Amino acid sequence: MKKYIVLALAAVLLLSVAFTGCAPQKTNLILATGGTSGTYYPFGGAMAQIFNSKIENMNVTAQATGASVENLKLIGKKEAELAIVQNDLTDYAYNGTEAFKDGKIENVRVIATLYPEVIQIVSTADSGIASIQDIKGKKFSVGAPGSGVEANARQILDSVGMTYNDFSANYLSFSESADSLKDKHIDGFLFMSGIPNAAIQDTATTSSLNFVSMSDDMIKTLTTKYPFFTAFTIPAGTYKGQNAEVKTVAAKATLVVGAEVPDEVVYNITKALFENQPELATAHAKGKELNIEEAVKGISVPFHPGAEKYYREKGIIK
């Protein structure tokens, strides 16, 4: 009798192992985002929740990081499979320029642009800065040393034939720039961020500001020379005292992925992202700006084949 019980138990154990072996394995992915006080981290968490709830056997973990440069290096080292980054920095990484002169990150691929990160040029009302050219001879912040913003400042100045030699360049972070403007230590600054930007909002409550527009020719020059830029208009009333719309350019916050991630996985992620956009918009305000027609614009590095397959199905890419 004992012999039959042992045989029965063995059979049950074998069946259990067999069925366990047949069970689909979870796909575990790290999504590199940004600091916990910024936009990338909570937005990444909202996307991860969509992916995990809408894709079978998917487990995406949003991880706080130092944002774009670190995220691209994590992709390059295969320490993260997904990341939110600025599309201009993706261009630098793929081509080995700016912050990535020490080595290209050739395995980075694009899934989608998510929302615009807008160049915003702000000056004090009494500075006399009403155009880019008016920065000459002034004290102006171009962003933290070696930052993406600082690279953008050089690109924008170059489009009108200017360099840092034309003014007193200050290398300040967002918060430092805003504080220095309020204290009248600088005449203006350049930011790249989503709109409205909290530091500019705060500055506008205590200081009278100018919001500097770019000319149409300047926008054309920038978007032609740097394909990661797109034309953008900041609506009137975005900030206190900003009574007219402001013409400028924007880069894009972008969801990227390692080239080694399987096509089917990336296809499912791309599909879940766009087919659950209303739910994403409820979870985070930036989800309202996700638009499939815009998601393929401003891209200068290759799409992942899985994402491209979805866009072709939807007629977004021909």
Query: Domain limits of the chain?
Result: 9-115+253-313, 117-251
**Is-contact 251 116, C-beta < 8 A?**
yes
HEC assignment per residue over 143-205: CCCCCHHHHHHHHHHHCCCCCHHHCEEECCCHHHHHHHHHCCCCCEEEEEECCCCHHHHHHHH
Determine the Cα–Cα distance for residues 249 and 195; give it in Å rounded to an integer: 12
HEC assignment per residue over 230-260: EEEEECCCCCCCCCCCEEEEEEEEEEEEECC
Give the range among 117-126, 141-150, 154-163, 229-238 with minimum mean pLDDT. Answer: 141-150
Determine the Cα–Cα distance for residues 151 and 174; give it in Å rounded to an integer: 15
Site of tokens 């199905």: 313
**Is-contact 200 239, C-beta < 8 A?**
yes
Closest to 269 (Cα-Cα) out of 44, 79, 115: 44
Site of tokens 């909202």: 46
Cα angle, residue 157 at apex, residues 118 and 183 outer, rounded to 5°? 70
pLDDT tens per residue across span 221-261: 999 999 899 999 999 999 999 999 999 999 999 999 999 99
Domain 117-251 CATH assignment equals 3.40.190.10: yes
Please tell me whether residue 121 adopts helix, strand or coil conformation.
Answer: strand
What is the average pLDDT across 118-143? 96
Q: Quick one: pLDDT at residue 22?
A: 54
pLDDT tens per residue across span 173-214: 888 999 999 999 999 999 888 888 888 999 999 899 999 999
Compute the half-sphere exposure of residue 217: CA atoms within 13 Å on the CB side of its CA.
5
Same fold, 9-115+253-313 and 117-251: yes
**Is-contact 117 192, C-beta < 8 A?**
yes
Average pLDDT across the chain, whole number = 91
pLDDT tens per residue across span 20-40: 455 568 999 999 998 886 789
C-alpha distances out from residue 139 to 126, 182, 213, 217, Å:
13, 13, 19, 25
Q: Quick one: pLDDT at residue 147?
A: 82
User: Has residue 43 got a pLDDT over 60?
Assistant: yes
Its CATH class, for the domain covering 9-115+253-313, is alpha beta
| Confidence category of residue 9, pLDDT binned at 50, 70, 90 | very low
